[in-house]
Amino acid sequence: MRYYIIAGEASGDLHGSNLVKALHRQDAHADVRCWGGDKMEAAGATLVKHYRDLAFMGFVEVLAHLRTIMGNISFCKKDIAAYHPDVLVLIDYPGFNLRIAEWAKQQGIKVVYYISPQVWAWKEGRVKQIKRDVDRMLVILPFEQDFYKKWSFPVTYVGHPLIEVVEQEKAIAPVPLPSDKPIIALLPGSRAQEIKVKLPIMLEMTERFPQYRFAVAQAPSQPDELYREIIGKKDVLLVKGKTYDLLKQAKAGLITSGTATLETALFGVPQVVCYKGNAISFWLATKLVSVKYISLVNLIMDKPVVTELIQNDLTPNNLERELNKLLSDGADRDAVLADYRELWHKLGSRPASENAAAEIVAVASS
């Protein structure tokens, strides 16, 4: 059967790649065409458009690139129509994917959404559109079942795909990083605009913690030059394609909000969550977003397990204070690690990719 998958960022490429592998295991004749990244292509999908050409974050940034975004939507519709998929699979990325879902439903194309948009955080009214345009919703956060239940929309919890990814990675010994000091991981995000804003603030810690070696995880979609320009002459490791090796060896981490916060927690690395964006975009977000936390760790646990330094709170002095707490082998660090163990329990150990593939194959076959 023919599967068309759309993922618009690095995390979607990761989870999409494991989904592609699972589809090939469950459907010997699977033909997969995708919008995603290198991982999905390596897994056996035909890559149409790379996510690095799609990632625009924030209200202001989206407006500035509106012509490009609308052109991508138009091209995507034409490509799907020419491919004639048995099922369209959408992975998160709601601003783009919900538009495609509406069009696909009108064309009579079956639509499965894998990894729900965060409609529980903002734009809850989008659930009406999802109910109208999506044939099956596959969720990866336990509380999403209850959220959709109040909207009388049955969804399937398939487990969180990061569990299987991290379990596999933990079984592999890390490639040692060249350092004679304990390591602090810096994960400043995957988009150029967020890296330019947050990484300079993170790097100020190099002078305040000279007894540690700082290592920056390079996003696969970004060039070396972007990081070298920001790092300058600081004695910092730039780790390319080895983020999990970095997390396996890190004493603590400064992590941009998003999937990376959950990855860091599952590897057992105490962290400070860092977010700073365009001032206008952030102001608009505060008026629209209705959640207590920005990190997945805190959202899943429904309490402040990890400290979040957001917008004006993301300062060098605040970072230094919070990092000191995590680096000291004491009550603060122990409390975080204990909550991480409870996080594993909450997420469970379901094989998310296999479960999702089974649901998708069933819809394609119906």
What's the mean pLDDT in 60-66? 52
Q: Tell me what the pLDDT averaged over the chain comes to.
A: 90
pLDDT band for position 65 (cuts 50, 70, 90): low
User: Which of the residue ranges 43-52, 104-113, 282-291 would you say has the lowest mean pLDDT?
Assistant: 282-291
Taking Cα atoms as reference points, which of 72, 63, 131, 67 lies closest to residue 101?
A: 131
Per-residue pLDDT reduced to its tens digit, 253-263: 999 978 899 99
Tell me the DSSP string of 72-136. Answer: HHHHHHHHHHHH--SEEEEES-HHHHHHHHHHHHHTT--EEEES---TTTS-TTHHHHHHHH-SE
The 3-state DSSP class for residue 306 equals coil
- Strands of the chain, DSSP E: 2-7, 31-36, 46-50, 87-91, 111-114, 136-139, 156-157, 183-187, 213-218, 237-240, 250-256, 271-275, 307-310
Say how many C-beta atoms besides its own lie within 10 A of residue 336's C-beta. Answer: 21
Per-residue pLDDT reduced to its tens digit, 337-349: 999 999 999 998 8
What's the mean pLDDT in 45-50? 96
Question: Domain 168-347 class?
Answer: alpha beta
> Quick one: CATH architecture of 2-159+350-365?
3-Layer(aba) Sandwich (3.40)
**279: buried, middle or exposed (CB in 10 Å: 19+, 13-18, 0-12)?**
exposed
pLDDT at 193 (0 to 100): 85
Per-residue pLDDT reduced to its tens digit, 69-82: 778 899 999 999 99
Per-residue pLDDT reduced to its tens digit, 192-239: 888 999 999 999 999 999 999 999 999 887 999 999 999 999 999 999
pLDDT at 55 (0 to 100): 54
Does 294 have pLDDT greater than 90? no
Does 301 have pLDDT greater than 80? yes
Give CA–CA dist 159/140, Å, rounded. 5
Q: Give bridge partners of residue 256 from the DSSP assignment.
A: 274
Residues 6+ apart with CB under 8 A from 94: 117, 118, 119, 126
36 compared with 58, residue with greater pLDDT: 36
Chain centre to alpha carbon of residue 357:
19
Q: pTM of the prediction?
A: 0.83
How do the domains of the chain map onto residue ranges? 2-159+350-365, 168-347
Does 20 have pLDDT greater than 50? yes
pLDDT at 66 (0 to 100): 60
Which residue type sits at 39?
K
Per-residue pLDDT reduced to its tens digit, 262-292: 999 999 999 999 988 766 555 555 545 656 8
118 compared with 170, residue with greater pLDDT: 170
Does 317 have pLDDT greater than 50? yes
Cα Dmax for the chain:
61
| Topology match between the domains 2-159+350-365 and 168-347 | yes
